[in-house]
Amino acid sequence: MRNQSQTWAQGKFADAKNDALSYLDGFAKTFGLSDPGIAQRVGDFQSFNKNAMELTRQAVRATSGRAAVQEFTMIQQALPSAEMSQRGFVQIADQMSSLNDYHIATQQAAQAWRNSHNGTLDGFQAAWQQEVTPAAFLAYRMSNQDMTTLRINLSKTAGGRAAYAHLQREVQFAQQNGLFGE
């Protein structure tokens, strides 16, 4: 979805703008006047919407086998959409991606643990969660500006400073152990 959102502007009225371009593209093709830039934009927009709907479908299915329209709408509004600002989309995409990265790293670490602990996962979860949490993966994906804002906000209290220091240790652990897929 990140790649598909690069050729058109997200935000309010994105649906209307891209629907108009879709009509223009169809009209132009009728007369052999197609513009590859418009065709790319329309295609990317439509693909983005298809993927946004698939995310919604998966989230609704995970929530309830018999979700009502209200539940469907509420879930859809919490996930990436064309009418969301670009910054909002990037933040949500980073959150979703970092959680996925964390799950992948957890599976890889579990396999390594199993291999070094006689085929058992006994004690893995406790040891793993002491070293790294999904927050480390989100911090790794954050822009420098967002990370600076986080640091400044957390530095205002002793508890915040301790949380930031802990987050830095988690990020360092993940980097040293190749958990970010570098």
Are residues 102 and 57 both part of a single domain?
A: no
Examine residue 181 and state whether it is found in any structural domain, yes or no: no
Q: Is the pLDDT of residue 154 over 90?
A: yes
Q: Is the pLDDT of residue 5 over 80?
A: yes
Examine residue 182 and state whether it is found in any structural domain, yes or no: no
Examine residue 27 and state whether it is found in any structural domain, yes or no: yes
Name the pLDDT band for 182 (thresholds 50, 70, 90): low
Helix axes 134-141, 158-176, angle to 10 degrees: 80
Which of 78, 108, 123 is the last residue before a domain boundary? 78
DSSP label at residue 4: G
Return the beta strands (E) in 33-168 as ranges. none
Question: What pLDDT does residue 32 have?
Answer: 84
Residue 157 one-letter amino acid: T
Are residues 133 and 151 both part of a single domain?
A: yes
Are residues 130 and 62 both part of a single domain?
A: no
- The whole-model pTM stands at 0.74
Are residues 43 and 103 both part of a single domain?
A: no
**For 168, phi and psi rounded to 5 degrees?**
-60, -40
DSSP label at residue 83: T
Are residues 67 and 91 both part of a single domain?
A: no
Question: What pLDDT does residue 17 have?
Answer: 93
Q: Tens digit of pLDDT for each residue in 74-129?
A: 888 888 889 999 888 988 889 999 999 999 999 999 999 999 999 999 999 999 99
Which of 35, 59, 78 is the last residue before a domain boundary? 78
How far is it, in rounded angstroms, from Cα 160 to Cα 66?
Answer: 41
Are residues 39 and 91 both part of a single domain?
A: no
Whether the CB-CB separation of 138 and 105 falls below 8 Å is answered with: no
Are residues 128 and 150 both part of a single domain?
A: yes
Provide the residue range defining the domain that includes 52: 3-78
Examine residue 114 and state whether it is found in any structural domain, yes or no: yes
Are residues 108 and 157 both part of a single domain?
A: yes
Whether the CB-CB separation of 1 and 51 falls below 8 Å is answered with: yes
For residue 178, what are the contacts with CB-CB under 8 A and spacing of at least 6?
Answer: none
Domain count, the chain: 2
Q: Tens digit of pLDDT for each residue in 135-153?
A: 999 999 998 999 999 999 9
Are residues 125 and 96 both part of a single domain?
A: yes
How far is it, in rounded angstroms, from Cα 89 to Cα 23?
Answer: 26
Question: What pLDDT does residue 116 have?
Answer: 93
How far is it, in rounded angstroms, from Cα 36 to Cα 85?
Answer: 25
Q: Is the pLDDT of residue 26 over 70?
A: yes
Whether the CB-CB separation of 93 and 1 falls below 8 Å is answered with: yes
Which of 22, 51, 78 is the last residue before a domain boundary? 78
Examine residue 125 and state whether it is found in any structural domain, yes or no: yes
Question: What pLDDT does residue 34 have?
Answer: 78
Q: Tens digit of pLDDT for each residue in 32-69?
A: 887 888 999 999 999 999 999 999 888 888 887 777 88
How far is it, in rounded angstroms, from Cα 58 to Cα 48?
Answer: 15
Cα angle, residue 23 at apex, residues 20 and 25 outer, rounded to 5°? 110
How far is it, in rounded angstroms, from Cα 105 to Cα 138?
Answer: 13
Are residues 64 and 138 both part of a single domain?
A: no
